[in-house]
Amino acid sequence: MSAAPIHLGGERLMLDPAGVLHWPARHTLVVADLHLEKGSAFAAAGRFLPPYDTRETLSRLALLLRRWKPARIIALGDSFHDRHGASRLPPTELEALHRMLSGIEMLWVLGNHDPEPPEGLPGQAAEEVRDGPLVFRHQARPPASRFSALAGGEVSGHFHPKATMPTRVGGITRPCFVADGRRLVLPAFGAYTGGLDARDPAIAGLFPRGARLFLLGRERLFSMTAAPTGQPALTGTAPG
């Protein structure tokens, strides 16, 4: 599997086709929007889904830990689908999560779905994490905020971006990274997470000068451009 390098805030970062970010200089893996225990949250509300989302998400995450061997994980919020999600973890998944995080520094960024630290799990929780030139938060701050005048870069999740790439056999829609020289939005990693079109104003408005989209493929990323606000939204093609 081939990761794609990008530069943000002067730092070299690697975009993994599985939908996570690796920061080699800090031995850090960054993942967004796990939404663990979404299935059990829906079941409690009378909307039944197969109760295997947490198992599938953790299984995929375990593969990435073996691939990158990080010393630190930053989870960019909405790691659990609601504030009580951690308490609903089945014993098997709870044991697996403890085993996965053994010997790793775990930083839980708080999100809108999980505004409180997960109980009974290792790691520390924070509203945001700052390290060198980069800040990690759940939801990107709009360009008009004070952040836009600061040096460095911002890494966030929340929006579950996806995009459709034209091919000779029709459009293919995939989750995607959205990036420019100052900002990076990660796709959602959870098994039961949907997506928001990168052309939606909630995402496009964060990138008024345009952005690069990196669609997730099985073994590689497929890159295309998102035009500046007010121009045709997406350009580029992928191999058929």
| Backbone dihedral angles phi then psi of residue 59, each to the nearest 5 degrees | -65, -45
> Closest Cα to residue 150, out of 128, 135, 129, 131?
135
pLDDT, position 237: 40
CA–CA gap between residue 147 and residue 136 (Å, rounded): 12
Q: How confident is the model at residue 1 (pLDDT cuts 50, 70, 90)?
A: confident
pLDDT, position 216: 97
- Number of neighbouring beta carbons within 10 Å of residue 232: 9
pLDDT, position 44: 66
Paired with 211 in beta bridges are 226
pTM of structure: 0.90
Percent of the chain past pLDDT 90, that is, above it, reads: 75
Any idea where the domains of the chain sit in the sequence?
4-232
Q: Is there a contact between 101 and 123 (Cβ–Cβ < 8 Å)?
A: yes
**18-46 residue pLDDT tens:** 999 999 999 999 999 999 998 787 666 67
**78-92 residue pLDDT tens:** 999 988 899 999 999
- Alpha helical stretches, state H, the chain: 38-44, 53-68, 91-101, 201-204
- The CATH code of domain 4-232 reads 3.60.21
CA–CA gap between residue 39 and residue 56 (Å, rounded): 12
pLDDT, position 224: 95
CA–CA gap between residue 122 and residue 133 (Å, rounded): 26
% helix / strand / coil in the chain, to the nearest 5?
20, 30, 50
Look over the chain and give the mean of its residue pLDDT values, rounded to a whole number. Answer: 90
For residue 150, is pLDDT > 60? no
Q: How confident is the model at residue 77 (pLDDT cuts 50, 70, 90)?
A: very high
Q: How far is CA 148 from CA 128, 151, 191, in A?
A: 17, 8, 33
Structure tokens at 22: 């690796």
Paired with 210 in beta bridges are none
Percent of the chain past pLDDT 70, that is, above it, reads: 90
Mean pLDDT of 203-232: 88
For residue 27, give the amino acid letter.
H
CA–CA gap between residue 175 and residue 17 (Å, rounded): 10
Higher pLDDT, 44 or 70: 70
Mean pLDDT of 168-186: 94
First to last CA, the chain: 19
Parallel, antiparallel, or unpaired: how do β-strands 172-179 and 161-165 relate? antiparallel
Q: How confident is the model at residue 192 (pLDDT cuts 50, 70, 90)?
A: confident
Parallel, antiparallel, or unpaired: how do β-strands 196-197 and 161-165 relate? parallel
